[in-house]
């Protein structure tokens, strides 16, 4: 059995363009994953079976992306003891708001951690943070990742300061 496994389920293959960002981010942190397409409405039994056996199969977290009615994360959360992270996907004329509302309005007792519409990278990062609670090496990778983000912002700030300084020089010239 592998450590730090994430089960990734998307409601449709049309969700792939968003969901592949989950896989890229998990790979960046060397977190193992397995990916499936299972619909809460069209393949209910398959979706439920994946969620029910996920903890027995060694998974630690489930990430589920879905658009439109977006019941998939909630259906999975109803039958698993694992944390479920939902990604509302912009797949309808409502631009993902329908999916977002379906995920964040879960009934008491069936939580789904929900990220932004099309927020696949943050879903993966949240999964990594959950896994890092029991994995010090993974926690260190997260610390280094966040340090890198801070460095990138500092570089951007320097560039802006240079631009502002140049504007002020030109204004006073």
Tokens of 28: 């960046």
Q: Whole-model pTM above 0.85?
A: yes
How much is the mean pLDDT over the chain? 94
**Looking at residue 13, what DSSP letter applies?**
G
Which helix (H) or strand (E) segment holds residue 67: the answer is strand 59-67
The string of pLDDT tens digits covering residues 5-53 is 999 999 999 999 999 999 999 999 999 999 999 999 999 999 999 999 9
Helix 120-132 / helix 136-172 crossing angle, nearest 10 deg = 130
Q: Residue 70: pLDDT band by 50, 70, 90 thresholds? A: confident
**Higher pLDDT pick, 170 / 35:** 35
Interaxial angle between packed helices 120-132 and 16-28, expressed in degrees from 0 to 180 and rounded to the nearest 10: 30
% of the chain beyond a pLDDT of 70: 97
Of 94, 26, 103, 121, the closest CA to residue 66 belongs to 103
């Amino acid at each position: 059995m592998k450590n730090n496994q994430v089960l990734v389920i998307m409601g449709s293959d049309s969700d792939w363009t968003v969901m592949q960002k989950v896989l890229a981010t998990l790979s960046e942190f060397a977190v193992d994953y397995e990916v499936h397409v299972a619909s809460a409405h069209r393949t209910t039994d398959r979706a439920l079976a994946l969620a029910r056996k996920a903890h027995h199969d060694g998974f630690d977290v489930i990430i589920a992306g879905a658009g439109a009615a977006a019941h998939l994360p909630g259906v999975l959360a109803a039958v698993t003891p694992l944390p479920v992270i939902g990604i509302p996907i912009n797949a309808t004329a409502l631009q993902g708001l329908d999916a977002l509302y379906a995920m964040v309005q879960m009934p008491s007792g069936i939580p789904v951690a929900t990220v932004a519409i099309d927020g696949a990278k943050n879903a993966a990062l949240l999964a990594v943070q959950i896994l890092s609670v029991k994995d010090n090496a993974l926690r260190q990778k997260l610390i280094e990742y966040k340090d890198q983000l801070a460095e990138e912002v500092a570089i951007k700030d320097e560039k802006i300061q240079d631009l502002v300084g140049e504007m002020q020089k030109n204004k006073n010239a």
